[in-house]
């Protein structure tokens, strides 16, 4: 009877998906609920991955209660016959094959996960993928390799985790990236409160703001907010949205400059890189700044589609402001694309504001430095 009730509940029509959807807000409500469900599903998956790291000590504890068993033939391993017997029951309960080879591989893999957790590799374990399992299920002895990986990946993965949590809470400023003193000290910025990864605006406080009206006359090509684009990607293409993976990577090296401002140049530098491989056309984030009028290009500025107007990023620092600028003759791997925006539904005849999209122009491998045009 209970099984029939569960089956009925599973096959019942989802009321939230069978409404009339007379208004766009009805559909947006469903989208938000689906995003929430996905976030909860991710948390459930991470919890399952974490629990899996405790299988091996559980097997060991139970194996101590099992009496003597005959020694199996074949190559000698560190796993006892008792541990194999207990592991086989767990493997059967999880629905995996219980051949001798499969039992050996699962016990070795669970032992590896437990060892990694005991060595403090929690972040790597929480974010491991199916590819991780495919590789180390057959190569469970590569313990030293994973320890070396952790030295490189642990800090940026922790950054990624904080960034995802912040974005789920509606904060796309990227301030969580500079909370670490090792990052902030290298930025040489005295205005952490001004940090923003999601802002491109005209300076309405400027007395000459009326002269900037030209930026509103062009036709808008998007009605999506900056926050929407950072979360969903350009035109909703999530697979091409790599913005959440772009991070600040600390490293040691020579700056090539004698001074930065009035301070001696530090050998402790930052690289703006991506943790995930990017393909040409992938969206990497927004270049923040304020549109200013000036006869000459500001020292911290890039050109706009309008003569005499510049995007000044000196007062609105953000992650992508710190991309390396290509030297003369050097190949870039990103471009800066301007997009006019009007958030009023159905209104595209003028631009409320412009934003600068950072787009990959070549294949960019993980930890490759982003290099933009001058």
Q: Check residue 343 and give its pLDDT.
A: 86
Structure-block tokens of residue 39: 């976030």
Of the residues 91, 126, 155, which one is the last residue of a structural domain? Answer: 155
Domain that holds residue 348: 173-372
d(CA 331, CA 318): 23
**7: in domain:** no
Decide: residue 5, CB within 10 A, 0-12 exposed, 13-18 middle, 19+ buried: exposed
In contact, 160 and 247? CB cutoff 8 Å? yes
C-alpha distances out from residue 348 to 30, 203, 221, 233, 344, Å: 26, 22, 7, 20, 8
* Confidence at residue 11, expressed as pLDDT on a 0 to 100 scale: 65
**What is residue 261's predicted lDDT score, i.e. its pLDDT?**
47
pTM of the predicted structure, to 2 decimals:
0.72
168 is a domain residue: no
Query: How far apart are alpha carbons 223 and 229 in whole angstroms?
Result: 10
Say yes or no: 242 and 311 in one domain: yes
pLDDT at 337 over 60: yes
Rg (CA), the chain: 27
Same domain, residue pair 182 and 330: yes
Residue that terminates a domain, selected from 155, 185, 205: 155
Q: Is the pLDDT of residue 320 over 90?
A: yes
What pLDDT band is residue 101 in, cutting at 50, 70 and 90?
confident
* Residue whose pair of structure tokens reads 């787009």 in the numeric block: 359
Angstrom distance (rounded) from CA 313 to CA 324:
14
CA distance 22 to 299: 51
Token pair for residue 6?
């569960």
Can you tell me which residue has the tokens 């929690």? 122
pLDDT of residue 8: 54
How many structural domains is the chain composed of? 2
């Amino acid at each position: 009877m209970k099984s029939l009730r569960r089956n009925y509940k599973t096959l019942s029509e989802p009321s939230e998906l069978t409404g009339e959807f007379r208004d766009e807000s009805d559909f947006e409500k469903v989208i938000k609920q689906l995003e929430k469900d996905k976030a909860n599903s991710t948390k459930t998956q991470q919890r399952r991955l974490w629990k899996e790291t405790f299988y091996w000590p559980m097997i060991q504890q139970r194996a101590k209660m099992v009496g003597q068993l005959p020694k199996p033939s074949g190559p000698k391993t560190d796993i006892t016959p008792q541990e194999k017997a207990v592991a086989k029951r767990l493997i059967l309960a999880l629905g995996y094959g219980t051949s001798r080879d499969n039992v050996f591989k699962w016990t070795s893999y669970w032992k590896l996960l437990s060892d990694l957790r005991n060595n403090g590799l929690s972040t790597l374990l929480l974010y491991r993928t199916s590819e991780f399992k495919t590789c180390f299920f057959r190569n469970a002895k590569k313990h030293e390799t994973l320890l070396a990986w952790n030295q490189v990946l642990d800090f940026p993965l922790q950054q990624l985790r904080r960034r995802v949590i912040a974005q789920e809470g509606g904060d796309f400023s990227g301030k969580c990236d500079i909370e670490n003193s090792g990052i902030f000290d290298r930025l040489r910025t005295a205005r952490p409160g001004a940090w923003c990864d999601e802002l491109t605006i005209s300076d309405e406080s400027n007395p000459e703001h009326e002269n900037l009206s030209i930026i509103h006359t062009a036709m808008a090509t998007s009605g999506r907010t900056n926050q929407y684009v950072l979360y969903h990607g350009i035109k909703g293409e999530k697979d091409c949205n790599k913005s959440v993976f772009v991070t600040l990577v600390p490293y040691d090296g020579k700056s090539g400059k004698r001074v930065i401002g009035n301070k001696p140049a530090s050998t402790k530098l930052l690289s703006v890189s991506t943790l995930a491989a990017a393909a040409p056309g992938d969206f990497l984030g927004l270049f923040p700044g304020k549109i200013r009028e000036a006869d000459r290009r500001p020292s911290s500025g890039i050109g706009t589609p309008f003569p005499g107007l510049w995007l000044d990023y000196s007062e609105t620092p953000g992650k992508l402001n710190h991309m390396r600028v290509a030297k003369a003759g050097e190949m870039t791997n990103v471009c800066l694309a301007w997009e006019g925006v009007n958030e009023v539904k159905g209104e595209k005849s003028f631009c409320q504001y412009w934003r600068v999209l950072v787009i990959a122009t070549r294949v960019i491998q993980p930890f490759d430095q982003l290099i933009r045009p001058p």
